[in-house]
Amino acid sequence: PLFPRVLGHEGVGVVESVGDEVKEFKEGDIVIPTYIGECKKCENRTSEMANLCLKHPFTINGLMPDGSSRMSIRGQKLYHLFTCSTMAEYTVVDANYAVKVDPGIDLSLAGFLSCGYSSGFGAAWKEFKVEKGSSVAVFGLGAVGLGVVDGARIQGAAKIIGIDKNPCRKDKGEAFGMTDFINPADEPNK
């Protein structure tokens, strides 16, 4: 990894300013930075079999797709995490790596949508294509697991079993559609 680096890939923010060529966002918009860009036109984005844009790639080299860094401190270049670096008070994001969200959303909850929840929801909905009436077991009820529970519920799963050692997660799971809860710590050793 290249350092110094600004970490973070789950977050939400308010657009402070935009470049001259940016048309889809304006000052004050609420956005979620993403690390997978979106052109909506390339072969991968129009296919149901792929989700990585060819024009705006997923990057791991600490730089933006054009090879630049958009951040510095006291004249020293800072490297990005993917293309978003959300653990910063301010970050510069390419418009193709941001998604506008409802301005009424609670900012303290919106970051939940950026990676964890959406990864789980997408897994249940698009990847595994949970079928109506099926039974689903979800191991771990953090952000990803709750996304799986919600995705399975929306797809019509009849039984959604949440498995987590944290008893506090039972109520959360039920709020998202979990039908049964197993806490392995409560099970007798066999």
pLDDT in tens, the chain (190 residues): 588 999 988 889 999 999 999 999 999 999 999 888 887 777 876 777 666 777 877 888 888 888 889 889 999 999 988 888 888 899 888 898 899 999 998 888 888 788 888 889 999 988 889 999 999 999 999 999 999 999 999 999 999 999 999 999 999 999 999 999 999 999 887 5
Spatial separation of the C-alpha atoms in residues 66 and 12, rounded to whole Å? 23
DSSP assignment of 131-158 equals PTT-EEEEE--SHHHHHHHHHHHHTT-S
The sign of the torsion formed by the CA atoms of 83, 16, 113, 78 equals positive
Domains annotated for the chain, with CATH where assigned, are 1-108 (3.90.180.10), 116-186 (3.40.50.720)
HSE-up (13 A, CA, CB side) for residue 105: 18
